[in-house]
Chain A
Amino acid sequence: MQLEFTCNGRPVRMQADGSMRALDLLRDLLGLTGTKEGCGRGECGACTILVDGSPVNACLLYAAKLQGRAVLTVEGLAKGEVLHPLQEAFLEEGAVQCGYCTPGLLLSSKALLDRVPHPTDPEIEQALSGNLCRCTGYAKILKAVQRAADRAGRGDGTSRRGREAGR
Chain B
Amino acid sequence: MEYLIAGSVEEALRLMGGLDEQGRSARYVAGGTDLAVQLAGNAAGGQPEALVDVSGIPELLRLERAPGGALSIGAAVRLETLARSADLPACLSQGARAIGSPQIRALGTLGGNLCNASPCGDTLAPVIALGGRLVLASVEGRREVPAEEFFTGPKATVLRPGELLVEVDFGPAALAGRSAFRMIGQREGQAISQVNVAVWLLAEGGRMAEVRAAAGSVAPTPVRLAAAEKLLRGQAWSQGLGREAGQAAAEEVRPIDDVRAPAAYRRLLTAALLREALAEACEGVQ
Q: Which residue of the partner chain A has the closest CB to B36?
A: A60
- B104 near A130 with CB under 8 A, answer yes
Residues of A in contact, count (CB < 8 Å): 31
Q: Which residue of the partner chain B has the closest CB to A40?
A: B40
Contacts A43-B190, A55-B106, A65-B55; A130 near B101 (Cβ below 8 A): yes
User: Which of A17, A18, A48, A108 has the most CB atoms of chain B within a 10 A radius of its CB?
Assistant: A18
Q: Is B80 an interface residue (CB 8 A)?
A: yes
| CB neighbours of B36 from chain A (8 A) | 21, 42, 59-62
- A62 near B102 with CB under 8 A, answer no
Contact residues, B100-136 vs A (CB, 8 A)? 100-104, 106-107
Q: Which residue of the partner chain B has the closest CB to A51?
A: B106
Q: Is A111 an interface residue (CB 8 A)?
A: yes
Residues of B in contact, count (CB < 8 Å): 24
Q: How far is the CA of A67 from the CA of B55 in the complex (A)?
A: 12
Q: Is B51 an interface residue (CB 8 A)?
A: yes
Q: Is A70 an interface residue (CB 8 A)?
A: no
Q: Which residue of the partner chain A has the closest CB to B188?
A: A129
| CB neighbours of A43 from chain B (8 A) | 101, 190
Contact residues, A7-50 vs B (CB, 8 A)? 17-19, 21, 40-43, 45, 48
Contact residues, A61-77 vs B (CB, 8 A)? 61-62, 64-65, 67
- A18 near B100 with CB under 8 A, answer no
Per-position contact with B for A123-165: 1 when CB-CB < 8 Å, else 0? Answer: 0011101110000000000000000000000000000000000
- B104 near A57 with CB under 8 A, answer yes
The 7 closest A-B pairs by CB, nearest first: A130-B101, A129-B189, A18-B3, A54-B106, A19-B1, A19-B3, A60-B36
A-B pairs with beta carbons under 8 Å apart, 14 shown: A18-B5, A42-B36, A42-B101, A43-B101, A45-B101, A55-B106, A62-B29, A62-B36, A62-B51, A62-B53, A67-B5, A129-B189, A130-B103, A130-B189
| Chain B contacts to A: CB under 8 angstroms | 1-3, 5, 29, 32-33, 36-37, 40, 51, 53, 55, 80, 100-104, 106-107, 188-190
